[in-house]
Amino acid sequence: MPAKLSVNVNAIAMLRNRRDLPWPSVTGLGRIALAAGAHGLTVHPRPDQRHIRFSDLPEIRALIDDEFPQAEFNIEGYPSEDFLQLVERHQPEQVTLVPDDPAQATSDHGWDFVNQVAFLKPVVARLKKSGFRVSLFSDADPAGVAAARDTGADRIELFTGPYGACHSDPAKAAMELEKLGKTAETALAAGLQVNAGHDLVVDNLPQLLRRIPGLAEVSIGHGLTADALEYGMAGTVTRYLKACGW
């Protein structure tokens, strides 16, 4: 089965937040994305609410429950107590834990699994007890996979930023792709499923999916939102689904 597409709506929310106005509508564009065939929506609510607001979460949950019950809600974030309680209130299908400092502009590295397994293990257990699938943000490094598995998580999400940054350097992109591929192979052999996200676009998705044919899901926000300015949200989702092999 091709990798599923989850549309990250953070960039839409950030544009909305430039004015004290309700547009562009996060749920409105999320509805268009899901109607066009996207398999889910992703958000990363930060403590300062600089893009997704906490008030967006019940609206997105209701959109999926009422209109697209086959779709999934994925909430990303650093596992502070406030974040964990937010997740427990809004009941996503998947929780993706990232090692972000609140001041970071965006996620830019994965967990140090070997040194943070003791921190992550009880967090993962708490989330799984509530019935959530748990994914952990991961660098392209096979050496950390065993410790990631030992946390009890279901999946890792490969940080594809270094790969996406090589858009004008094919040789370097090939090197980064191989690192991602080896990490994914190690994870799959260890019984973990594999997601991927960060700076993925229509042009670099097919190569990633050929190298990692077992990829479960890609989460895409910035590039997809940028393309939506040109092709519209529905047309853009169609293009990304095609790139994923649907």
pLDDT digits (tens, 9 = 90+) for 135-177: 999 999 999 999 999 999 999 999 999 999 998 899 999 999 9
Active site annotation includes 88: no
**Stretch 232-238: mean pLDDT, rounded?**
98
The pLDDT value given to residue 63: 98
Assign 200 a pLDDT band (cuts: 50, 70, 90): very high
- Number of C-alpha atoms within 13 angstroms, CB side, residue 41? 33
- Number of C-alpha atoms within 13 angstroms, CB side, residue 155? 25
- Which pLDDT tens digit goes with each residue over 114-133? 999 999 999 999 999 999 99
The pLDDT value given to residue 122: 98
The pLDDT value given to residue 109: 84
The Cα–Cα gap between 91 and 103 comes to: 26
The pLDDT value given to residue 100: 80
**Stretch 217-223: mean pLDDT, rounded?**
98
Alpha helices by DSSP H, listed for 54-204, are 56-67, 81-90, 113-129, 145-150, 161-164, 170-189
Q: Map residue 246 onto helix, strand or coil.
A: coil
User: What whole-number percentage of the chain has pLDDT above 90?
Assistant: 94
With 0-12 / 13-18 / 19 or more C-beta atoms within 10 angstroms meaning exposed / middle / buried, residue 221 is buried
Phi then psi for residue 236, to 5 deg, are -70, -45
The Cα–Cα gap between 216 and 226 comes to: 24
The pLDDT value given to residue 105: 56
Contact criterion met (CB below 8 Å) for 97 and 136: yes
The Cα–Cα gap between 150 and 121 comes to: 8
Assign 106 a pLDDT band (cuts: 50, 70, 90): low
Active site annotation includes 198: yes
The pLDDT value given to residue 165: 96
Task: Say which CATH number the domain at 97 has.
Answer: 3.20.20.70
Q: Of residues 39, 51, 72, 76, which has the active-site annotation?
A: 76
Assign 12 a pLDDT band (cuts: 50, 70, 90): very high
- Name the residue range of residue 91's domain: 4-244
Q: Of residues 44, 72, 157, 217, which has the active-site annotation?
A: 44
Q: Of residues 39, 51, 90, 198, which has the active-site annotation?
A: 198
The Cα–Cα gap between 199 and 204 comes to: 9
Short-list 231, 224, 226, 219, CA closest to 4: 219
Active site annotation includes 76: yes
**Number of domains into which the chain is organized:** 1
The Cα–Cα gap between 2 and 95 comes to: 21
The Cα–Cα gap between 193 and 31 comes to: 27
Mean pLDDT rounded to a whole number for the chain: 96
The pLDDT value given to residue 103: 61
Q: Answer yes or no: is pLDDT of 104 > 60.
A: no
Q: Answer yes or no: is pLDDT of 102 > 70.
A: no
